[in-house]
Amino acid sequence: MQKPTQPPPSCTTAALTIIKDNRTTTVYWLVATSIFSLLFILSLSTTSQPPSTPPPDPFLFPSRQPQNSPHHNRLLFLNQRSPSSPSLPTAPSIAYLISGSKNDSGRILRLLFAIYHPHNYYLLHLDLSAPQSDRDFLALTVHSIPVFKAAQNVNVIGKADFAYRKGSSSLSSTLHGASILLRISDNWDWFINLSASDYPLVTQDDLLHILSYLPKDLNFANHTSYIGWRESRRLKPIIVDPGLYLLEQNEIFYATQKRDLPDAYRIFTGPSSAILSRKFIEFCILGTDNLPRTLLMYLANVPSSLSVYFPTILCNSQQFNRTTINHGLQYTSFDTRQEPRHLNSSDFNDVIQSGAAFASPFLPDDPVLDRIDREILGRSPGKPLPGGWCLGEPENDTCAVWGDADILRPGPGARRLEKRIVELLSNGTFRSHQCVI
């Protein structure tokens, strides 16, 4: 058999050398390309991160500044209290959820200005019936207010929910807002849920001053266990709320069947507005007790579920039924059909003398709101509510210059609110109206 012709030894050696050189060059190129790609990706990931949020203005919160802060000594010197003044309790903090619907962006902003204080936290929500342009306008306006940027305590929900007033989606939206506020800050003490039709009757300095003397586990919520024929009509029907599963607004579906009231727990009803402790909100959202989740499942198909959820949990929980005051500190007047009627100028004296902290409902830009701003709150149109933190001249924008947010200057509203709370806490009233069955 003929053997294949073998290449000369010198040619074989040269070919192997060329192959090795090519392999070495290829490896170098692969390594260099990999390193370059890795560095490029890391540079992109680094530069694509949003800029870190600057800390709140140290002049608003001097007590929060670290000892090594360059502002620390100067701020303490500027904001120190008189040695002869009695020690005052620390001002609490309130987390507000302000909700509205289509065409409510202006009302939400007005309410925000009327209840603003740097010590509090605010979350604004326009439901999905409002166009995205309204939410954009709300967010841009909030971003343009200097003190909001300085305190960093106002946020707008970008991914909105449907909130049908007579359905369970309004309860879902409220719990969503409360959970966001829990995540935003660990520092607030009470949660207040307001709608665009609500308005304050006291300044925030008044409200914070009075709350600073109260135990932080108190809950203010109107409630009753009396279920008459009118309440039965709201609780026994079975509904399907489209806000829980549809992207477009639709009518609530009513089933032909009805169901009995539960006997595993007692149903309590009341207005949707309440002043609830942080501990209670954490119990509803993060707690290990299953009552809040069980009740939430039951109320998914019940009309007006928001008016049932919080009062029922408060009064069926041994942890909270003794911390509940049967008044939400909100003034409401009812018509002959027992439906809330719109308040106007003829109600002004009754509203103020009620000693409540809020009133509802009001029509948009009703003249009585201007009177409340002028005579009760001392607030100018389009400006934040003045308080002890405002250091500007009265003839100019009082709150254009600010100082320590811990300084409160309560006024006549604090005395009215104090009188009302003392009446509610008196021995003959407090226990006899507390989660009565």
Give the number of C-alpha atoms closer than 13 A to the C-alpha of residue 359, restricted to the C-beta side. 24
Task: Write b or e for each residue in 360-371: b if 16 or more Cβ atoms lie within 10 A of its Cβ, otherwise e.
Answer: bbbeeebebbee
Which range of residues forms the domain containing residue 209? 94-246+269-433
Q: Which amino acid is at 410?
A: P
| This prediction's pTM | 0.83
Within a domain: 254:
no
Within a domain: 363:
yes
Number of folded domains in the chain?
Answer: 1
Within a domain: 423:
yes
Within a domain: 89:
no
> What CATH number is given to the structural domain containing 355?
3.90.550
Within a domain: 331:
yes
Query: Helix crossing, 169-184 with 278-286: angle to 10°?
Result: 110
Q: What is the pLDDT along the chain (437 residues), one digit of tens a residue?
A: 444 455 555 544 444 444 445 555 544 454 455 444 444 444 443 333 444 566 777 878 887 655 455 544 444 334 444 443 457 789 999 999 999 999 999 999 999 999 999 999 999 999 999 999 999 999 999 999 999 999 999 999 998 888 888 888 999 999 999 999 999 999 999 999 999 999 999 999 999 999 999 999 999 999 998 887 767 778 888 988 888 887 777 788 888 888 888 999 999 999 988 999 999 999 999 999 999 999 999 999 998 899 999 999 999 999 999 999 999 999 999 887 778 999 999 999 999 999 999 999 999 999 999 999 999 999 999 999 999 999 988 777 889 999 999 999 999 999 999 999 999 988 666 777 788 76
Within a domain: 161:
yes
Taking CA atoms, 110 is separated from 86, 357, 363, in Å, by 36, 17, 13
Taking the C-alpha atoms of residue 9 and residue 13, their distance in angstroms, rounded to an integer, is: 6
Within a domain: 43:
no
Question: DSSP assignment, residue 377?
Answer: I
Within a domain: 348:
yes
